[in-house]
Amino acid sequence: MSYIFLNLKRFDITPDRGGVNRIAPPAGWAEAIVRRTLAVNDWAEDDFVSFFPEAHLLAAAAAKRETGSRMAVGCQGCAGADTAVGGNFGAFTAQLTANSAAGLGCEWALLGHCEERAAKAGILAAGGGDAAAVDMLLNAEVLRAQEAGLRVLFCIGEKQEELDRWQEVLRAQLTRGLQGADLSRVVIAYEPIWAIGPGKTPPGRERIQETARFVRSVAPLPVVYGGGLKLDNAGMLATIPEIAGGLIALTRFSGEIGFYPDEYVEIARAYLEEKNGR
């Protein structure tokens, strides 16, 4: 079983506003992506999940139903509290709860992404809080997501200043973040934060394999590469037995950079053909 995840970040914003959306007008963006990635239906034994910004979940779920796409729809995070029968009826202004996401048609939640971790850490630091509390906040989100019936892609990763103690950092993120969770409904995405971004050198095969082995020794779960599954690393990642897939964001990194559905399908095909020997 391979997992191909797609995090569409805020790729719905058009270039005139500083974004990278050259696919379709924002109102039809999610539908266009679902319709133009139907080729994933050719790989029946693998899982495909696309995480959309909240505003596009309804359109993505509707397009999935209309087209019969096998791509599951996911949300890019959820609140650490939720509605409950006989309890809070919905007082969560400005927050997407897991029950809301499930009601909109989501099947997965993306939690702990490095951008979410950085935002939470910034808020805690401003208030003099302990950075380790980020894991506790994320743990609440994991538990609420699972209570709502969602599966979880849980992201972990170390920063540049944490490289000398990367095992300690990853172990803490796993143990605190997944405490009490149903591990049968979790996939781990490893994000080498120190290697993500323009001009940075991505880790090689040996480093990725070493990290995946360590993660699986702490939590025996499927591990995907969250540092960017791309056409130029798809074949290499597919040869690592401990890696079960990858997380795609941008598909084009020069010229008119951005996410392009046809290139997404090409990346997925390159990985799966190497992984499955076909």
* Residues catalogued as catalytic: 113, 191
Sign of the C-alpha dihedral computed for residues 246, 52, 78 and 74 taken in this order: negative
**What are the C-alpha distances in Å from 124 to residues 3, 145, 255?**
33, 22, 37
Q: Which amino acid is at 51?
A: F
Token pair recorded at residue 191: 């994000």
- Say if CB 55 and CB 10 are below 8 A apart: no
Q: Is 24 exposed, middle or buried (0-12, 13-18, 19+ CB in 10 A)?
A: middle
What angle, 0 to 180 degrees and rounded to 10, lies between the N-to-C axes of helices 133-147 and 114-126? Answer: 130
Q: Measuring CA to CA, which residue among 206, 178, 175, 173 is closest to residue 190?
A: 173
- Dihedral, 206, 263, 201, 277 alpha carbons, nearest 10: 10
